[in-house]
Chain A
Amino acid sequence: MTSISKQDSLSKDLVHRVLLGKKQFLVTEDEPLLPQLERAGIHIEYQCREGYCSSCSIKLLWGQVEYPFEPLAWVHSGYMLACCAIVKSDIEIAFFHD
Chain B
Amino acid sequence: MSYSTFNRKQFDSMKEPMFFGENVNVARYDQQKHPIFEKLIEKQLSFFWRPEEVDLSSDRKDFQQLAEHEQHIFLSNLKYQTLLDSVQGRSPNVALLPIVSLPELETWIETWSFSETIHSRSYTHIIRNIVNDPTVIFDDITVNTEITKRADSVSVYYDRLIEMVSLYNTLGMGTHHIPGKGSVEISMPTLKKALYLTIASVNVLEAIRFYVSFACSFAFAERTLMEGNAKIIKLIARDEALHLTGTQHMLNLMASGKDDPEMAMIAAECQDEVRNIFIEAAEQEKEWATYLFKDGSMIGLNAQILSQYVEYITNVRMQAVGLDTCFSTKHNPIPWINAWLVSDNVQVAPQEAEISSYLVGQTDNSLDDSDFDDFDL
Which residue of the partner chain A has the closest CB to B249?
Answer: A74
**Does B325 contact A46, Cβ atoms closer than 8 Å?**
no
Taking CB atoms, residues of chain A closer than 8 Å to B331 are: 43
List A residues 54-98 near B (Cβ within 8 Å): 54-55, 57, 72-74, 76, 95-97
Query: Which B residues lie within 8 Å of A52 (CB)?
Result: 43, 241-242, 245
Q: Would B316 and A48 count as touching, CB distance under 8 A?
A: no
Assembled-state Cα–Cα distance A3/B36 (Å):
38
- The reply on B338 being an interface residue by CB < 8 A is yes
> Is B315's CB under 8 angstroms from A97's CB?
yes
Chain B residues near A48 (CB-CB < 8 A): 238, 241, 341-344
Give the interface centre of B36, B238, B325, B342 by most chain A CB atoms within 10 Å: B342
Verify if A16 is at the interface (C-beta below 8 Å from B).
no
Number of B residues near A (Cβ < 8 Å) is 30
Chain B proximity of A60: nearest CB distance (Å): 14
Partner of B332, one of A43, A49, A53: A43
- The CA-CA distance from A78 to B343 in the complex, in Å, is 26
Q: CB-CB contacts of B245-260 with A at 8 A, as 1s and 0s?
A: 1001100100000000
Contacts of A11 in B (CB 8 A): none
Q: Does B245 contact A49, Cβ atoms closer than 8 Å?
A: no
* B244 cross-chain contacts in A, Cβ below 8 A: 53
Q: Are A49 and B248 in contact (CB under 8 A)?
A: no
**Contact of A47 with B245 in the complex, beta carbons under 8 Å:** no
CB neighbors of A among B319-377 (8 A): 319-320, 322, 325, 330-332, 335, 338, 341-344, 356-357
Residues on B with beta carbons closer than 8 Å to the beta carbon of A8: none
Which residues of B are found within 8 Å of A74, using beta-carbon distances?
245, 248-249, 252, 320
Flag whether B90 is at the interface (Cβ < 8 A): no
Q: Hey, which chain B residues are within 8 Å of A43, CB to CB?
A: 331-332, 335
Q: Is the CB of B320 within 8 A of A54?
A: yes
What is the CA–CA distance of A50 and B47 in the complex, to the nearest angstrom? 13
A53 touches B241 (CB 8 A): yes
* Known A-B contacts A53-B245, A72-B36; A46 and B356 likewise in contact (beta carbons under 8 Å): no
List chain B residues, Cβ under 8 A from A50: 343-344, 356-357
**Is there an interface contact between A72 and B40, defined as CB atoms closer than 8 Å?**
yes
B39 within 8 A of partner (CB): yes
A-B contact pairs, 20 of them (CB 8 A): A45-B338, A46-B338, A46-B342, A47-B338, A47-B341, A47-B343, A48-B241, A48-B343, A48-B344, A50-B344, A53-B244, A53-B245, A54-B320, A57-B319, A73-B248, A73-B320, A74-B248, A95-B330, A96-B315, A97-B330
Binding site for A on B (CB under 8 A): 36, 39-40, 43, 237-238, 241-242, 244-245, 248-249, 252, 315-316, 319-320, 322, 325, 330-332, 335, 338, 341-344, 356-357
CB within 8 Å of B: which residues of A?
43, 45-50, 52-55, 57, 72-74, 76, 95-97
